[in-house]
Amino acid sequence: MRRFAFLLPMLLAATAWAGEPRGTGDLGIVVERAAGRVQVVDTTGRARLATVPDLGDLSHASAVFSRDGRFAYVFGRDGGLTKVDLLEARVVRRIVQAGNSIGGAISQDGRLVAVSNYEPGGVRVFDAGTLDPVADIPTPGSKVVGLVDAPGQRFVFSLFEAGDIWLADLTDPKRPAVTRWTGVGRQPYDALITPDGRFYLAGLFGEDGMALVDLWYPEQGVRRILAGYGRGEAPLPVYKMPHLEGWAFAGRRAFVPAVGRHEILVMDRDTWTEVGRVPVQGQPVFAVGRPDGRQVWVNFAPPDNGTVQVIDTETMAVVKTLAPGPGVLHLEFTPKGEAVWLSVRDADRVDVLDTRTFEPLARLPADKPSGLFFTARAHRIGQ
Amino acid sequence: MGQALILIALLVVAGHAVAEPIAPTRQQALLHLLKQDCGSCHGLTLKGGLGPPLLPRTLAGKDADALAAVILDGAPGTPMPPWRPFLSPEEARWLVDRLREGVP
């Protein structure tokens, strides 16, 4: 009893909102990148629940979630991989697994976490429970980008310098079986996988177009799509690399940011041909579909990073232009999309907006917020 | 000879005066840009990312004007864009000086 009385205040301090058991389906994290912290947030109460410090250099940090939605795996620029317990608001374990990393993925069965590295390159795979190393897939001379999980206990990723796409099967985690496609295009900079896990697309920085792999038929190799979408126009300068995660589907249409064009490209996902372009205000960075597919929300590279535009996927027109504040870095929808959260870096704020009325629902203070990641990602392929 | 040197020195000072010193508020804005926007590719702590590190030791021995030229006009064949629309040559050179001495 005495021991219990001693423990109780500690528990209350650690999980100030708890008091009784709670699920994790409406939790998420807000990355405060310069401070090396994450906030644990509640998307139902639209509130910050706790702050977890000491995660290192979180520039360009991203996160994936354990499939029970309790743990976030945060990938930091400094090569750090941190496992955060959202319920207890604490770091379970932190390792520095490389000099410089860019992102990661969690396997289909939730048991393996893979990290893609810039320095020294390659992909390292860890046990999701312990963060002990499991496998190492070096990519000599190349930074790894666009790492995603795929069905069949596989990971897919691209090599920036080499221009390769690699498919690693970790059915036997100690002995990854790697399929390599070389010369898929110049400077793949990011990639995405369709929500069904079938198609992997790498965006190319060094030329117009994307490289496509059909993971149902990997033996068919890599196909080039949207080749020459610039049609000879000189590309505009890109002040922040676009991201391809969270891309949007509406029926047969897929929406992706163009590189060096102030446009969102619209593709038909049966034929993988261009069916339209939506002119937008600047160089798009993220084009994220509302979960129901009716809207695509777009943010921009500097100098247009104070603007967010909303595209109606049926009419392929911009239906709303918002100016939340300077430095809108990321956006994340609630699991069913009634609200969207925006990180407004230079205003030190996270804004929550109603996606039908575009009215603000809440404003939360945050220290230079960047990435926003909600636990609904735990159950999506490729996130 | 001595007079000529003084004259040159005066001209140099005058030249800088004409170019206008960078105001403290603008310096803050430039440092913010360096950290947040350059940091997108070079890392918030400038230790590198998709772009190379911009630390004093990695820039040592490189020509300051050449570095300023890369900032202003980009590096063809790489993702480095030209920042000339947002920076004057003096501001680019000021950023190079800050990078070479190490940004806190």
**HSE, side-chain direction, 13 A CA sphere, residue A367:** 13
Identify the pLDDT of residue A57: 86
Q: pLDDT by residue (tens digit) across A188-198?
A: 999 999 999 99
A237 touches chain B (CB under 8 A): yes
Q: pLDDT by residue (tens digit) across A106-132?
A: 999 999 999 999 989 999 999 999 999
Q: State ipTM.
A: 0.74
A205 touches chain B (CB under 8 A): yes
DSSP A65-126: E-TTS-EEEEE-TTSEEEEEETTTTEEEEEEE-SSEEEEEEE-TTS-EEEEEEEES-SEEEE
Binary contact (A345, B50; C-beta < 8 A): no
Among A62-76, A231-245, A299-313, whose mean pLDDT is lowest? A231-245
Q: pLDDT by residue (tens digit) across A325-360?
A: 999 999 999 999 999 999 999 999 999 999 999 999
Residues of B in Cβ contact (< 8 Å) with A371: none
Q: pLDDT by residue (tens digit) across A279-317?
A: 999 999 999 999 999 999 999 999 999 999 999 999 999
C-beta of residue A325 within 8 angstroms of C-beta of residue A347: yes
Nearest to A320 by CA among A302, A340, A335, A334: A340
Task: Please give, rounded to a whole number of angstroms, the shortest distance from the CA of A58 to a CA of chain B.
Answer: 8
C-beta of residue A76 within 8 angstroms of C-beta of residue A93: no
Identify the pLDDT of residue A110: 98
Q: CA of B43: which chain A residue's CA is closest?
A: A59
Which residues does residue A369 pair with via DSSP β-bridges, in sequence order?
A32
Q: The pTM is what?
A: 0.88
Q: Report the SS3 class of residue A256.
A: strand
Which residues does residue A268 pair with via DSSP β-bridges, in sequence order?
A253, A273
B37 touches chain A (CB under 8 A): yes
B39 touches chain A (CB under 8 A): yes
- Answer yes or no: is pLDDT of B50 > 90: no
Write down the residue that tokens 């996270």 correspond to: A350
| Signed CA dihedral, B92, B96, B97, B99: sign only | positive
Q: Which strands, in side-by-side order, build the sheet including A210-214?
A: A188-193, A199-204, A210-214, A222-225
Binary contact (B43, A303; C-beta < 8 A): no
Binary contact (A59, B44; C-beta < 8 A): yes
Q: Which of B32, B36, B79 sits opposite A205 (nearest CB)?
A: B79
Binary contact (A187, B79; C-beta < 8 A): yes
B28 touches chain A (CB under 8 A): no
Residues of B in Cβ contact (< 8 Å) with A239: 37, 81
As a whole-number percent, the residues of chain A with pLDDT over 90 amount to 80
Q: pLDDT by residue (tens digit) across A170-227?
A: 999 999 999 999 999 999 999 999 999 999 999 998 888 899 999 999 999 999 998 8
Average pLDDT over every residue of B50-62:
93
Nearest to A189 by CA among A212, A210, A218: A210
Binary contact (B48, A33; C-beta < 8 A): no
Binary contact (A241, B41; C-beta < 8 A): yes
- Give dist(CA B50, CA A293) in Å, integer: 31
Binary contact (A237, B74; C-beta < 8 A): yes
Task: Please give, rounded to a whole number of angstroms, the shortest distance from the CA of A296 to a CA of chain B.
Answer: 23
- Give dist(CA A100, CA A119) in Å, integer: 5
Average pLDDT over every residue of A68-73:
98
- Give dist(CA A32, CA A369) in Å, integer: 5
- Answer yes or no: is pLDDT of B23 > 70: yes
H/E run at residue A168: strand A164-169
A326 touches chain B (CB under 8 A): no
Which site among B32, B40, B42 would you substitute to test the A interface, given the most A Cβ atoms closer than 10 Å to its Cβ? B40
pLDDT classification of B15: cutoffs 50, 70, 90: very low
Identify the pLDDT of residue A232: 60
A303 touches chain B (CB under 8 A): yes
**What is the SS3 assignment for B18-34?**
HHCCCCHHHHHHHHHHH
Higher pLDDT, A17 or A309: A309
Contacting residues for A108 by C-beta, under 8 A, at least 6 apart: A149, A150, A151, A152, A153, A154, A381
- Give dist(CA A250, CA A236) in Å, integer: 28
Nearest to B48 by CA among A60, A36, A148: A60
The count of residues in chain B is: 104
Residue A131 backbone phi and psi in degrees, to 5: 65, 20
C-beta of residue B37 within 8 angstroms of C-beta of residue B47: no
A158 touches chain B (CB under 8 A): no
- Give dist(CA A343, CA A359) in Å, integer: 16
Which site among A239, A241, A285 would you substitute to test the B interface, given the most B Cβ atoms closer than 10 Å to its Cβ? A239
Binary contact (B47, A100; C-beta < 8 A): yes
- Give dist(CA A340, CA B3) in Å, integer: 68
pLDDT classification of B91: cutoffs 50, 70, 90: very high
Mean pLDDT of chain B: 84
- Give dist(CA A375, CA B97) in Å, integer: 44
Write down the residue that tokens 């002119």 correspond to: A279
Contacting residues for A189 by C-beta, under 8 A, at least 6 apart: A145, A146, A160, A203, A204, A205, A241, A242, A259, B50, B79
Task: Please give, rounded to a whole number of angstroms, the shortest distance from the CA of B9 to a CA of chain A.
Answer: 38
C-beta of residue A52 within 8 angstroms of C-beta of residue A72: no
Contacting residues for A125 by C-beta, under 8 A, at least 6 apart: A112, A113, A114, A115, A133, A134, A135, A136, A137, A155, A170, A173, A176
Strand pairing category for A177-181 and A222-225:
unpaired
Size of interface A-B (CB pairs under 8 A): 66
Q: pLDDT by residue (tens digit) across A251-282?
A: 889 999 998 899 999 999 999 999 999 999 99
- Answer yes or no: is pLDDT of B33 > 70: yes
Average pLDDT over every residue of A166-173:
98
Q: Which of A102, A118, A238 sits opposite B81 (nearest CB)?
A: A238
Identify the burial level of A206 via C-beta atoms within 10 angstroms of its C-beta, where 0-12 means exposed, 13-18 middle and 19 or more buried: middle
Contacting residues for A70 by C-beta, under 8 A, at least 6 apart: A24, A85, A86, A87
